Structure 1
């Protein structure tokens, strides 16, 4: 049959290596968590800017529609505000 396997590492060495790897993983997770927080903050700022931009665009669109409507009314009814009594 096969020969028995002999482990040449001490339990203390193995545990130390595992702890080191866990520490590295913990550090990586902390960096990822910080980056996610930064992304969330950026998204909130972008969302606020988009909200204000939408408001400005809506206001401009309403102004253009009112101006065009006024122009069309004035074109077809030149005496509209001063209609004879």
Structure 2
């Protein structure tokens, strides 16, 4: 076995390595530009989405605030109606008392009239 002799010039190998190295660096540079471009697009989309979420959040908070104001108004109306119902309840109770008194008086007058008619002598 004889060893084959390799006859190549080291300068040629070095040139090939440098050429390959330049190509690799160009590819890396192109890839970096693509990544930077994609990153900018993604960051813009995120920023737009954040703005949209912020505006939606503000709208929701405004609606919640409006609902709280309306709820306070409804509570005030309920208290007002509660007071009116209590007043009506007192009036009805008073009216029932008066109606009973009138009915009792009317019955007594009728009994007195009947007693005079039949002269029972109870009320003489």
**What TM-score do you get using the length of structure 2 for normalisation?**
0.56
Q: Give yes or no for the alignment of 1:80 onto 2:121.
A: yes
Let me know the Cα RMSD of the aligned residues.
2.3
**What TM-score do you get using the length of structure 1 for normalisation?**
0.79
- Larger helix proportion, structure 1 or 2? 2
2:90 aligned residue: 48
Deviation (angstroms), 1:28: 0.8
Q: Give yes or no for the alignment of 1:25 onto 2:78.
A: no
Unaligned 5+ runs, structure 2? 1-44
Deviation (angstroms), 1:80: 1.1
Q: Number of residue pairs matched?
A: 77
2:57 aligned residue: 15
